[in-house]
Structure 1
Amino acid sequence: MSEEARRDRAERILDAAAELMLRHGYKRVTMEDVARAAGVGKGTVYLHWRTKEALFRALLLRESEQMLSGLLTKLRQDSELALPWRLMRILALEVVRRPLLRALFVADSDALIGFAENEAVRREKQLELAPETRYLELLVERRVLRGDLGFEEAAYLMSVIVRGFFLAERTGEEFGPDLERRADLMADAIRLTMAAEKALGPDDTEALAAGTITVFGRTVEAVRSELSSAYA
């Protein structure tokens, strides 16, 4: 079988796994179910992923890669998107609009019950947080944030605001504003509480964007490398 055919088969298996997990939840889905939905034998699924946990980790990695790749494209088109209030707005909207990532970060679904606490997903969350750590370091280095905010304080404040957004998304529609407006309000909270008094000039903004692209680009490369092992 050609490399392209193996990749197409792996993608078909992941598509089937995504649909089943969102419909029935992680606990109820078996490898046999995935194989049947993908139109392959159970042994074929095991050729790509040795365990159910590895399969669903790959599914979340694929979602993350697609989200971050889209972010990189936007950053290359508009350097001001690297500013934290604009970047976090984009990421928050992307997470909420992607059912699997929403289930993981917003936790408004039982789709990942039985999976979200295991080691595979803890590693996935760490992978998601790794670029954010370096990005925050960039913000401090480039003096994008208030001068009295060190790295740990900036990380804490950013976490409070962004996690608060996801927590509120469990019942967000009850508050009145639509999703876009809720994301705007979160972005305003970041800007008003964290931004330096002096705005970045064009050259500094370009430098921030270049650094941000490098940080998230490395994460995308790492994710693609891990996924490729299942496609080979």
Structure 2
Amino acid sequence: MARFSARSADAERDLRADRILNAARELLVSWGYRRITIDEVARRAGVGKGTVYLHFSTKEQLFMTVMTASHLRMVELFLRDLDEDPAALLLSRMARSVYMRVQEDPVARAIFTGDTDTLGSLIQVVSTAPGDLAEERERAMNEYFELLRERGVLRADSSVQDQRHAFVAILIGFLTMEPAAKSTAGDMLAQVVRLAFEVSDDPEWLSTLVPHVRGVLQRMVDRLHDEIRSNMNI
């Protein structure tokens, strides 16, 4: 009975934390970080103010968890795409997927575009993420690009860092500028990335790359889960 009660308590705690995170996410999108108080988060989540602090030590920690959860969803969706179609690992396909999903996720959009109206002082916190988490992100992106270059999927006539910089500049440009036609912007982005960086989309090569890319992304998922658990005082 004690073991069952412990499991029930854990499940209840997790559900309560999810309600708090969902409330914080809704308020971040509709009000912006500056205007939000923990009292309002508690009211929106249907819990006491002390319960919010039981899960998250500070307001900043709570909203950093909201942003980390958004990042986690993006990576997990990319993993799902890979399971369904090896061609999803192409840089052009990944760019299109990121673009379309950022349009659907206002928190991710605020992060990618540096929206200070939404994020306020959190912008500074994003740029100073925990060292090991930032290093894992860098390592994951570098390994992804290097794997594609080694197998002849991406051009290799510039450094990985220059290539990554150019790719991010193109992606952010599409995200920050109002498209001429929203319905085709993702396809246009994919075409630009394909012409700028890709030299092959051989399905045989792509299939052999999937386990390697999946391993890189899974490490990122595990690290993001660790960060969320740490922020939630678990």
Q: Which residue of structure 1 lines up, in the alignment, with residue 218 of structure 2?
A: 217
Mapped partners of 1:99, 1:9: distance in 2: 23
CA positional deviation for 1:66 = 1.8
**How do residues 49-88 of structure 1 correspond to structure 2 at under 5 angstroms?**
49-88=56-95
Pairing partner for 1:91 from 90, 98, 102 = 98
> What SS is found at the alignment partner of 2:35?
coil
Pairing partner for 1:155 from 161, 164, 170 = 164
Does residue 36 of the first structure (1) align with residue 39 of the second (2)?
no
CA positional deviation for 1:226 = 2.2
Distance verdict in 2 for CA 1:105–1:128, change over 3 Å: farther
Percent of pairs with identical residues? 32
Distance verdict in 2 for CA 1:128–1:184, change over 3 Å: farther
Runs (4+) off by over 4 Å: 127-130
CA positional deviation for 1:69 = 1.2
Distance verdict in 2 for CA 1:26–1:94, change over 3 Å: same
Mapped partners of 1:36, 1:123: distance in 2: 29
Number of equivalenced pairs: 223
Residues 91-100 or 153-162, more deviating: 153-162
TM-score normalised by length of structure 2: 0.86
CA positional deviation for 1:220 = 1.0
Q: Which amino acid aligns with 1:189?
A: V
Does residue 189 of the first structure (1) align with residue 192 of the second (2)?
yes
Does residue 140 of the first structure (1) align with residue 141 of the second (2)?
no
> What SS is found at the alignment partner of 1:67?
helix
CA positional deviation for 1:228 = 2.7
Q: Which amino acid aligns with 1:222?
A: R
CA contact (8 A) 1:162 1:186 kept: yes
User: What stretches of structure 1 of length at least 5 have no aligned partner?
Assistant: none
Distance verdict in 2 for CA 1:46–1:108, change over 3 Å: closer
CA contact (8 A) 1:96 1:106 kept: no
CA positional deviation for 1:108 = 5.1
More helix by share: 2
Distance verdict in 2 for CA 1:70–1:208, change over 3 Å: same
CA contact (8 A) 1:3 1:231 kept: no
Root-mean-square deviation (CA), in Å? 2.1
Q: Which amino acid aligns with 2:186?
A: A
Deviations 1:137-189 (A, max 9, x none): 22222221123133123122212211211221xxx1xx4312x4111111111
Mapped partners of 1:93, 1:190: distance in 2: 15
